[in-house]
Structure 1
Amino acid sequence: MRLFQNSGLNPSYRPRLADLVGQARGFEQQKEVFLNDRYGAAHILLPILGRSPEAFFTNGDDESLQRAWARENGLGQDTPLADILLAQIEHHKTDVFYNLDPFRYDATFVRRLPGHVKRKIAWRAAPGKIDFSGYDLVLCNFPSMRQLWEEQGARTAHFFPAHDPELDTVAANRDRDIDVLFFGGYSRHHQRRRQILEAVAGLSSRRRVVFHLDLSRYTPLAETPLGWFGPLRAVRRPPAIREVSAPPVFGRSMYAQLGRAKVVVNASIDMAGPDRGNMRCFETLGAGALLVSDSGNYPAPMYDGQTMAVYEHPQDASEKIARQLDSGNWDGIGWAGHRAIREEYSKQRQFERFLELT
């Protein structure tokens, strides 16, 4: 099977990737830098990570990467990114196209694929109106999200992120100097998250608390006198959160912070339904930290009190974290979570499931 996997970049990750790439200009060089940084590794399939000669990977929205391939393959500098991606698929003679970025490359793009592409599969785990009509299958690990896509006419199937084995070394470190860690977005869509983080930040008087926040572009303005009133208040951080805030981290820098954390707090965004088990859960358990996350429907083996801890409301989150730290139970539950996620959601099992769907 000739597999082609396309992904995309968070805008906030782009500066880090540019620094890592440095002066590298070749397509393969730039791609290797990206894959070695492990950004989004939970979703990257085993043949890609194993550098199988029959598997091709790219980030279709990475202009530097894509234009490097275009130069090396005789395409003009003004070639649209969608046309470069299409040329890569044709050159690769792809059998299965697996797209993690269907918002950018929807049915309009899929209808242009050459005839040798036998299966067109997308992954999507966030709400939004997308035309999936060109895809054979849309994958997701949230039942409520799959129902949403099916109501829009798509055929769906259960699929899941996987444990990155690179986290095994991270998990082995049990001497950790950060008591409570959070990393994620902070925008107008995160009002419930703000309440949770504000409560947890109250622990900073006696515990080391670090929040790596990917801020809304409006937050700096919101935190000036101009933002004291009006709609910008929704993205202004309360003082308790500002005091423990740090810049966002990605890739191996994120892995390094996970390896320093005893507890990682997870808070679903306001638009999320009852289903839980986002990539943050997989990364945290994989790194051997104690996952403390909001109540909802979690997949096995994410069990409250056994492999993670669940809270019901902001103050409950703060109190549960304090109890786990004071008792030292974070260590045993965190290690149990690591063993469970490593066994249940290995890269091999993820790819075996993918093969079932193709």
Structure 2
Amino acid sequence: MRVFQNSGVYAAYMRRLDMLAVDARSFSDRLALFLDDRYGACHILQPVMETSPDIFFTNGDDEILQRYWAVENGLPATSDMEQILLSQIEHHRTEIFYNSDPMRYGNDFVRKLPGCVRKSIMWRAAPSGNTDFGAYDLIVCNFPVILDGYRKLGWRAEYFAPAHDPAMDSYAENRDRPIDVLFVGGYSRHHRRRAEILQAVSAIRRDFKVYYHLDRSRLTRLAESPIGWLLPLGKHRRPKNIRAVSRTPLFGRELYEAISQAKIVLNGAVDMAGTDRGNMRCWEALGCGALMVSDSGVYPEGMVNNISMVTYEDAESAARTIVNLLREPERLQALANEGTRTVRTVYNKRAQWLNFQRLAASA
């Protein structure tokens, strides 16, 4: 089975990648640096990490990476990104096209795929408006409510989960964890419930070490800039307590390192899938050995309240729950250990790859 996995990266991470790859001068060099940094590794299929010749991986939105490949394979440096991706697929003789960036490469792109491609599979775990994904043979993600929505539109959709990244194991072993509470994620006017939780938990900063690494929206950054304080943008600024514990965004191994320094990772859904839960932070927090404290809801198999994680109901209970846990370090550590054991066993890379092959065969 010859699989082509296409992914994409956040603009904020692209800036980090450019710094990591400042000396890279080829497609393979830049890609190797990206893979070693483990960004999005829970979604990357096992054979990619093992450099199997039967699988090809790229980030189709990384213009520098893609133009390296184009030049190295005889295409004009000015080729557009879609043409480069199609050429890569044809050159690889891909049989299964697996795309994690369908908003960029949607139905029109799928209809242009070369004849060697037998099945097209896409990952999409977020609301997509009126976007039509009907050209894909299969849509996968780990949110049942979103999958049901796809099925109601007549599209085939199946459950498929992220996996534990083995590189997390060395981070999970760390027992020196000076950070009491860590949160890493986005912050914007759309995250109203998240902002309430962050505000409540940040209030414990006088007694505990609380770190928030926030990727602020453009409007929030403007509101908090020198000129922004002169404009009527108060509702877009972070409250004082949140600003006091905030630091720069983290990605890749820097994220793993931060989690390995934390006793508790605070998590919160963004209400995109009803009561379904299972964002990437679940795998990252548990995989790197922290206890995840997250909002109540329906979690993936093995992620169970008071066994492998702890849940809260609202902002007040989030702060109260975290304080109680920090005052019971032995219980906290036992819960964290069980969470790490769960993701290592239930969500290992081998199981993910076997499940992918099963879904591809039946698509």
Q: Report the TM-score range of the alignment, normalised by the length of the smaller protein.
A: over 0.9
1:160, distance to aligned residue in structure 2 (A)? 0.3
Cα distance in 1 for residues equivalent to 2:13 and 2:98? 22
Tell me which residue corresponds to 2:253: 252
> Is 1:216–1:235's contact at 8 Å kept on the other side of the alignment?
no
Cα distance in 2 for residues equivalent to 1:294 and 1:201? 16
Tell me which residue corresponds to 1:278: 279
> Is 2:165–2:349's contact at 8 Å kept on the other side of the alignment?
yes
1:147, distance to aligned residue in structure 2 (A)? 1.4
In structure 2, the CA distance between the partners of 1:272 and 1:225, relative to structure 1 (3 Å rule), is farther
User: Matches of residues 313-324 of structure 1 in structure 2 within 5 Å?
Assistant: 313-324=314-325
In structure 2, the CA distance between the partners of 1:86 and 1:216, relative to structure 1 (3 Å rule), is same
How many correspondences in the alignment? 357
> Is 1:213–1:245's contact at 8 Å kept on the other side of the alignment?
yes
98-107 vs 142-151, which moves further:
142-151
Tell me which residue corresponds to 1:343: 345
Name the SS for the 1:18 alignment partner: helix
State the Cα deviation string for residues 155-198 of structure 1 (Å, max 9, x = none): 10010000001111111112201000000000121011000000
User: Matches of residues 34-183 of structure 1 in structure 2 within 5 Å?
Assistant: 34-129=34-129, 130-183=131-184
Amino acid in structure 2 at the alignment position of 1:344: V
Cα distance in 2 for residues equivalent to 1:145 and 1:270? 12
In structure 2, the CA distance between the partners of 1:247 and 1:226, relative to structure 1 (3 Å rule), is closer
1:299, distance to aligned residue in structure 2 (A)? 1.5
Give the percent of matched residue pairs that are identical in Structure 1 and Structure 2. Answer: 50
Cα distance in 2 for residues equivalent to 1:345 and 1:288? 15
Tell me which residue corresponds to 1:186: 187
1:222, distance to aligned residue in structure 2 (A)? 1.3
Name the SS for the 1:101 alignment partner: coil
1:270, distance to aligned residue in structure 2 (A)? 4.0
> Is 1:3–1:55's contact at 8 Å kept on the other side of the alignment?
yes
1:151, distance to aligned residue in structure 2 (A)? 2.6
Amino acid in structure 2 at the alignment position of 1:94: T
**2:8 maps to 1:5:** no
1:133, distance to aligned residue in structure 2 (A)? 1.5
Structure 2: tracts of 5 or more residues without a match: none
What do you get for the CA RMSD once the two structures are aligned?
1.3
Amino acid in structure 1 at the alignment position of 2:262: A
Amino acid in structure 1 at the alignment position of 2:158: A
In structure 2, the CA distance between the partners of 1:316 and 1:35, relative to structure 1 (3 Å rule), is same
Name the SS for the 2:256 alignment partner: helix
> Is 1:187–1:234's contact at 8 Å kept on the other side of the alignment?
no
Tell me which residue corresponds to 1:240: 241
1:229, distance to aligned residue in structure 2 (A)? 7.1
Cα distance in 1 for residues equivalent to 2:138 and 2:109? 15
Cα distance in 2 for residues equivalent to 1:170 and 1:234? 38
1:152, distance to aligned residue in structure 2 (A)? 2.9
Cα distance in 2 for residues equivalent to 1:235 and 1:150? 37
> Is 2:143–2:273's contact at 8 Å kept on the other side of the alignment?
no
Cα distance in 2 for residues equivalent to 1:298 and 1:150? 21
Cα distance in 1 for residues equivalent to 2:234 and 2:143? 31
Cα distance in 1 for residues equivalent to 2:345 and 2:299? 17
Cα distance in 2 for residues equivalent to 1:270 and 1:276? 9
TM-score (norm 1): 0.97
**2:356 maps to 1:354:** yes
Cα distance in 2 for residues equivalent to 1:187 and 1:13? 17
Tell me which residue corresponds to 1:267: 268
Tell me which residue corresponds to 1:25: 25
Name the SS for the 1:298 alignment partner: coil
